[in-house]
Amino acid sequence: MAMATVTVRVYLTEEFKQGPVLVSASTCIEALRSLVAQHPVLKGIILTEELRLKRDYIYLLNGKSIEFLGKEDALLKDGDTISLFPPIGGG
């Protein structure tokens, strides 16, 4: 698979107040693992200890839920944007 350069945006985390991060990857999970490799503080936040997607986070690829795009194996192309949102609580 060809590597793509994509932008990853992490929203609403106290631990990570950095702007967009560029990573190279073929799939969503590869991109997020690359992000965690660059910024280890995110490991237990956006990915599990086994480096899988956390079920309670919202993962979007170009504004669409990756649940409908192949989940963590969703293929990436140059210029894509992955956005991560924490679970939203309410009451």
pLDDT tens column, 39-88: 988 888 888 888 898 888 899 999 999 999 999 999 999 999 999 988 77
> What is the reported pLDDT for 41?
85
The secondary element (H helix, E strand) that includes residue 27 is none
> What is the reported pLDDT for 44?
82
For the question of whether the overall pTM of this predicted structure is more than 0.85, the answer is yes
Which of the two residues, 89 and 32, has the higher pLDDT score?
32
Whether the per-residue pLDDT at 12 is higher than 70: the answer is no
Whether the per-residue pLDDT at 90 is higher than 70: the answer is no
Please return the burial class of 69, using the count of CB atoms within 10 Å of its CB with bins 0-12, 13-18 and 19+.
middle
